[in-house]
């Protein structure tokens, strides 16, 4: 076994801020991450069938700050609690009926997106702007893998141009902007943490 295999992964921001993490701390971080996504879901540009929201930015921030497992758990909690009725999906929606909404596939896709952002952060991509941008662009794309086919199925769409017009095209520029915001914030946060040390 090599020494590289034995060396610990780089810390994510949550580990640096709370170095003696316990199960209770992890639960609090996951709950806080879910709440951040719920709050950012209310930052919205209304569109049909899927609005543009601050959720994707929050997914990148939460995943990057918490790491793979806690980031994915936070988005799993966000989805589950929203389905139980907490109105923190976009436009203050919540409840089991949301599982049939055209936008729900994107919410499902947020879980692996947060995990991917966390994976990148655990490899210190979030400390360098270009690597951070690459990682966050990938994380931004993940919800589309689930969300677009789900939306098309719910709406009964088969025309690829219509599917793209509803589920992909309007989100390209906002997605790039959100990834750029996250890619700018993380290196700055790491610099601030280093100056505090």
CA distance 182 to 98: 28
CB 124 within 8 A of CB 134: no
Q: How far apart are CA 42 and CA 81, in angstroms?
A: 16
Q: Domains in the chain and their CATH numbers?
A: 9-196 (1.10.1760.20)
- Strands (DSSP E) along the chain, which ranges? 44-45, 52-53
- Residue 195: what pLDDT? 80
Per run of 10 residues, the mean pLDDT along the chain (length 197 residues) is 52 87 90 98 93 95 97 98 97 96 97 98 95 96 97 96 96 96 95 79
Residue of 66, 59, 64, 63 whose CA lies nearest to 21: 66
Query: What count of other Cβ atoms lies within 10 Å of the Cβ of residue 73?
Result: 24
């Amino acid at each position: 076994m090599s020494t590289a295999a034995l060396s610990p992964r780089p810390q994510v921001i949550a580990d640096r801020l709370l170095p003696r993490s316990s199960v209770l701390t992890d639960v609090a971080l996951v709950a806080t991450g879910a709440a951040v996504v719920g709050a950012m879901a209310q930052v919205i540009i209304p569109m049909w069938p899927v609005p543009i929201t601050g959720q994707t930015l929050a997914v990148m921030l939460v995943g990057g700050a918490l790491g793979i497992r806690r980031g994915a758990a936070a988005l799993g909690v966000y989805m589950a609690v929203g389905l139980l009725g907490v109105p923190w999906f976009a436009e203050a929606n919540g409840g089991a009926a949301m599982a049939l909404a055209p936008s729900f596939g994107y919410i499902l896709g947020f879980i692996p997106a947060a995990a991917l952002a966390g994976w990148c952060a655990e490899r210190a991509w979030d400390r360098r702007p270009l690597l951070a941008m690459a990682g966050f662009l990938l994380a931004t794309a993940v919800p589309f893998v689930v969300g677009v086919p789900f939306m098309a199925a719910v709406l009964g769409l088969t025309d690829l141009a219509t599917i793209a017009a509803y589920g992909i095209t309007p989100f390209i520029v906002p997605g790039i902007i959100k990834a750029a915001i996250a890619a700018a914030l993380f290196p700055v946060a790491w610099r601030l943490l280093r100056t505090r040390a």
